[in-house]
Amino acid sequence: MEAVREQFPDFGDTLLVVPLDVTDPDSIQAAPDAAVERFGRIDVLVNNAGTGLLAAVEESDDAAVRSVFETNVFGPFAVQRALVEPGFFRTDFLDPASLNSAIDVIDDYGPTAGVIRLAVPGLDHAQPGDPVKAAHAIVEIVTSPEPPLRLQLGTDTLQAFDAKLDAFRKEMDAWQGDCKVS
Give the Cα separation of 182 and 173 in Å (integer): 17
108 and 181 co-located in one domain: no
DSSP 46-112: ------EEE--GGG--HHHHHHHHIIIIIHHHHHHHHH-------SSTTSTTTEEE-SS--GGGIII
107 and 179 co-located in one domain: no
pTM check: above 0.75 = no
164 and 137 co-located in one domain: no
Residue 87: predicted pLDDT:
35
Are 98 and 57 contacting, i.e. CB atoms less than 8 angstroms apart?
A: no
Residues 164-180, mean pLDDT to the nearest whole number:
90
Give the Cα separation of 120 and 101 in Å (integer): 11
CA distances from 159 to 3, 123, 138, 148 (A): 31, 21, 19, 18
118 and 143 co-located in one domain: yes
Residue partners of 1: CB distance under 8 A and separation at least 6: 17, 18, 19
Residues 20-40, mean pLDDT to the nearest whole number:
89
52 and 101 co-located in one domain: yes
Digit-coded pLDDT (tens) for 99-141: 777 778 888 888 888 888 888 777 777 777 777 888 888 889 8
168 and 136 co-located in one domain: no
Query: What total number of domains does the chain contain?
Result: 2
72 and 106 co-located in one domain: yes
Residue 91: predicted pLDDT:
59
Digit-coded pLDDT (tens) for 71-102: 999 998 888 778 754 434 555 666 666 677 77
Partnered with residue 52 across adjacent β-strands are 99
22 and 74 co-located in one domain: yes
Identify the domain containing residue 172 by its residue range: 154-182
Give the Cα separation of 151 and 153 in Å (integer): 6
146 and 159 co-located in one domain: no
Residue 94: predicted pLDDT:
65
110 and 138 co-located in one domain: yes
Percent of the chain with pLDDT over 70: 91
Assign residue 32 the CATH number of its domain.
3.40.50.720
138 and 90 co-located in one domain: yes
143 and 158 co-located in one domain: no
